[in-house]
Amino acid sequence: MSAPRVAVVIFPGSNCDRDVLHVLRGVLGADAHTVWHEERSLAGFDAVILPGGFSYGDYLRAGAIAATSPILAAVRAAASAGVLVAGICNGFQILLEAGLLPGAMLPNRDATFVCDWTRIRVERDDLPFTCAYGRGQIARMPVAHGEGNYYADADTLSRLEANRQVVFRYVDDDGAATAHGNPNGALHNIAGIVDERGNVLGMMPHPERCSEALLGSCDGRAFFEGLLASIAKRAHSVAGGGR
């Protein structure tokens, strides 16, 4: 069985691509590769990460132009084939704009960019992205965005909640999902969601920024470790182990 292959997509304006690669390769020794936005195939990859940044300058709306780029067709195809897709920050915004996840991002409640530490509660531990966390575990993770105020209509919100698609929720120091713990005004304190099948995830916090003790928290490392472990496990369970 070969090591999981992870793609990190680079759009012009991406600025967390090198950070995600650093954690995957440098910290975790994973087999990670960059994929340029003009490419049209993601064949051979077990997981795809859309990193943070300001793709195409976030002109029009955050993530809007990236959602129409050539690589997004490949991301769409990979997602429907069950490949794990994770969008972090701008990557989440792109997945929303591409319709791969429901809802939209509004400007932050305070109308300014916010870069700060937050606490997020892991609502599910049965997903490939969260299998290395415990259910209800509270992780300390930074956010850095101007548009992270998650919005969806009431029906969508109740469907997300009913289907247990809310994966991460902002909480305060006491672990409660209050306005005080919410850095941007996101509805239901939503920090991250997953699609109905459970293989496409979007999150505003940056797990790559808290994967080394030196940087103030290691709580993000389990995100990548879980992702890699679950791919390895999947491959193992497939007869012959081939792809």
Partner 1 sequence: MRTDAAVDAAFSLADVRAAGLRWTEYLEIRGRLGREPNRVELAMFGVMWSEHCAYKHSRRYLKLLPTQGDGVLQGPGENAGVVEVAPGIGVALKVESHNHPSAIDPFHGAATGVGGILRDVLSMGARPIAILDSLRFGSPAHAASRRLRDGVVSGIAHYGNAIGVPTVGGELVYEDRYAENPLVNAACIGIVRADRLARSAAAGPGNPVLYAGARTGRDGIGGAAFASDELDVASVDRDRSAVQIGDPFAGKSLIEATLAALDTGVVVAIQDMGAAGLTCATSEMSSKGGVGMRIDLARVPRREAGMTAGELLLSESQERMLLIVRQGEADTVAAIYRRWGLQAEVIGEVTAEPALRIYDGGTLVVDLPPESLTEAPAYQVPEEEPKGRALIVEAPESPRSVAEALLRVLGAPTVASKRAVFRQYDHMVQLNTVVAPGADAAVLRLKEAPPVAIAVAIDGNGRTTWLDAWAGGAGAASEAALNVACTGARPVAATDGLNFGSPEKPETAWDLHNAIAGIADACRAMRVPIVGGNVSLYNESPVGSIFPTPMVAVIGVLSDVSCALTSAFRDDGDLIVLIGEEAASLDGSEYDKIVRGRVAGKPVRVDVAAHARLVALLPALAADGLLQSAHDVSGGGLAVALAECCIAGHFGARCRISGSSDPELALFGEGPSRVVATVTRSRLAALVARCRSAGVPVAELGVVEGDALAIRAASADLVVGLDQLRTAWEG
Residues of this chain that interact with partner 1 (CB under 8 A) are 12-13, 15-16, 18-19, 22-23, 26, 52-54, 56-59, 112-116, 142, 144, 146, 206, 208-209, 212, 214-215
Which residues face 122 on adjacent strands?
168
Residue linked to tokens 């890699």? 228
Catalytic residue among 97, 123, 147, 208: 208
Distance CA 97, CA 13 (A): 17
In whole angstroms, the minimum distance from the beta carbon of 210 to partner 1 comes to 9
Nearer to partner 1, 52 or 181 (CB): 52
CB of 229 to partner 1, least distance (A): 22
CA dist 59 and 66 (Å) reads 10
CB of 56 to partner 1, least distance (A): 7
Closer by beta carbon to partner 1, 65 or else 157: 65
- Closer Cβ to partner 1, 124 or 206, answer by number: 206
For 162, list phi and psi in degrees, rounded to 5: -65, -40
Contact 16, 29 (CB under 8 A): no
Cα 70 to Cα 51: distance, rounded to the nearest angstrom = 16
In whole angstroms, what is the distance from residue 172 CA to residue 43 CA?
41
Selecting among 89, 145, 147, 210, the annotated active-site residue is 89
Closer by beta carbon to partner 1, 176 or else 215: 215
Return d(Cα 39, Cα 85) in angstroms, integer: 16
Question: Alpha helices, DSSP H only, in 81-148?
Answer: 90-97
Question: With respect to partner 1, which residue has the nearer C-beta, 169 or 206?
Answer: 206
Cα pseudo-dihedral 210, 175, 192, 89, rounded to 10: -40
* Options 16, 97, 147, 206, the catalytic residue: 206
- Told to judge if 196 belongs to the known catalytic residues of this protein, a careful annotator would answer no
- Please, are residues 131 and 210 in contact by the beta-carbon 8 Å criterion? no
| 147 labelled catalytic | no
Minimum distance from residue 193 beta carbon to partner 1 (Å): 23
- Residue 103 corresponds to which tokens in the numbers above? 């809802």
Active site residues per annotation: 89, 206, 208
